[in-house]
Amino acid sequence: MGAIVLAALAIAELAVLVASIKKRSSKQEWMRARTIASVCEAVVLALLMALPIASIAFDFRWTALLIVLVVRAVFALIMYFAWGKNADAETPHRIPRMVLNIIGSVVVFAIAVVPALVFPPYDGLPTTGGYGVNQAHAILVDESRTDSFEQDGSCCEVPVWFYYPDASDAQAGQFPLVVFSHGAFGYHESNCSLYAELASNGYVVVALDYPHHSFFTTDTQGETIVVDGEFIAQAMAVQGGELSEDESYPLTRD
């Protein structure tokens, strides 16, 4: 889809160029045509992202291109109303400038659409089991322990995510439990396709996050907690064999 959007933008830009050359447009007419095209391109992409069609959504793959188009449209409007209305309306605008303008725009579009080209839409692997998959989320708070990474006496918190079969109440309690504990720097979605597969086959999966050990997670206050720098250094030292067994044991026994 990224290639199609880029091609559509390039064709739109080329159409404006060809029409302006054939018409022998003045600078004023050229600026007006470019402003209209810029606004239309930004509006069309925004509508495509807002509607659930064409695999275009408000995500990191398309955000850069939308920002480019919106900034370009705003800049074009400012330029036209500030200077374009008073620009030369008689002399044909120079073709080399128009060509360079179009080439520059297409190059910027190509750079902005790279995320959409490199990261195509992915809906995940289909599950093979006979159950639908439900999800739930909770944060467990252990009021008997304080978080050693915090300085305010906060209690220990463990965010958990549940993946479970979509089954009737009569079947509740009949499913085996699987607990997923990620490794250093991981987070709860490290194996989400596996969770869904297990849940579809009749398992309940609990995936945990460990604040300050997970790559990132969220606490009960809604604040994002990223991995602790000292923990990263210790984990890298253990994995790299920089510590003796006596030094590594206290860090890995839990």
Q: Are 184 and 240 in contact (CB under 8 A)?
A: no
**pLDDT in the model for residue 247:** 60
The CA distance from 135 to 122, in Å, is 19
Place of tokens 């890995």: 252
**Per-residue model confidence (pLDDT) at position 120:** 75
pLDDT of residue 250: 54
What's the pLDDT at 103?
A: 92
Tokens matching residue 45: 């992409």
What single letter denotes the amino acid at residue 168? Answer: S
CA-CA distance, 111 to 91, in Å (whole number)?
34
User: What is the DSSP secondary structure assignment for residue 96, as one 8-state letter?
Assistant: H
Cβ atoms of 157 and 220 within 8 Å: the answer is yes
Residue with tokens 């050359």, as numbered in its chain: 21
Distance CA 200, CA 164 (A): 8
Q: Which residues of the chain have pLDDT under 70?
A: 52-54, 84-89, 147-153, 169-173, 183-185, 187, 212-213, 215-217, 220-221, 225, 227-254
DSSP state of 125: P
pLDDT given for residue 71 in this prediction: 93
Output the six-digit token pair for 73: 């449209």
* pTM for the whole structure: 0.54
